[in-house]
Amino acid sequence: MSAALSPMLGHLAAERATGALLRGGGTLYLRDGQVVYAESPAAPGLDTLLTRGGRLPAEGWREAVDRAGARRQVGRFLVDSGRLTRGELEVYHLGALYDAAFFALAPGSGPARFRRGVAHWLGPVRPVRAGALQREVLRRRRLLEDLWPHPQVDTAPVARRTSGAAAPPTRRQRAVLDLADGVRTPADIARQLGRPAFHVLIDVRRLAASGHIETPPAPEPPEAFTDPDVALLRRIRDALEARL
């Protein structure tokens, strides 16, 4: 397992811990050391993927949460009630889990803390080993870097370019472009389309590489702090004292 992403996740997996690992970019839910769900403000949740994606009516989702959320068996209710097959639930669940985990394990997301014993309301579906999850997150990072090494496009409002495109967009990319109004971010577009945010990031980076959308300038690096000129400060002090 790579310890570069979250050493705490590795420790929790080794001790077979159960609870919620909270980081600045999102939350990972563990059961017996395995990751059973993930949430992030940057990624659409399972509800959005199912309802916005057209697989489940919004009222069907609300009923499942109302009737089974308190028992933490929403996933089981969706299958037992015939709203989803077991295979469909697993596919959507893993899509939401990997998507949110990508952002929850992002660098610079701040210190982590663990709330032992916390369980998610979805209930167990298909757990993922922590090592496999971290390897997948690293693979996704490398993929984005290879597509277009300018991470600022991942969070900036998506703005179309009027000229300079090298190739026509694909059908899936066209759906992203149709929502690129210079205000919506990739996360906003993902929620609107009911698609995993990472999939939208792939399209955004490809669209930027082909000249369809603007690449914002990279943020300026912080100015380096230099020690003050001690001799100059002494001369100023002496001059001020001479005036007194």
Reported as a single tens digit per residue, the pLDDT across 175-222 is 999 999 999 999 999 999 999 999 999 999 999 999 999 999 887 765
pLDDT on residue 12: 97
* pLDDT greater than 80 at residue 226: no
pLDDT band, residue 2 (cuts 50/70/90): very low
pLDDT band, residue 236 (cuts 50/70/90): low
What is the rounded CA–CA span in Å between residue 208 and residue 77?
A: 42
Average pLDDT, the chain: 91
pLDDT on residue 164: 72
How confident is the model over 59-83, as a mean pLDDT? 97
pLDDT on residue 4: 54
How confident is the model over 25-47, as a mean pLDDT? 97
CB 119 within 8 A of CB 183: no
Locate 167 and state its tokens: 């190739």
pLDDT band, residue 231 (cuts 50/70/90): low
Q: Worst-scoring range by mean pLDDT, 12-21, 118-127, 163-172?
A: 163-172
* pLDDT greater than 50 at residue 16: yes
What is the rounded CA–CA span in Å between residue 186 and residue 99?
A: 13
pLDDT band, residue 50 (cuts 50/70/90): very high
What is the rounded CA–CA span in Å between residue 174 and residue 212?
A: 10
Q: Worst-scoring range by mean pLDDT, 37-46, 59-68, 213-222?
A: 213-222
* pLDDT greater than 70 at residue 244: no
Locate 227 and state its tokens: 């020690």
What is the rounded CA–CA span in Å between residue 244 and residue 234?
A: 16
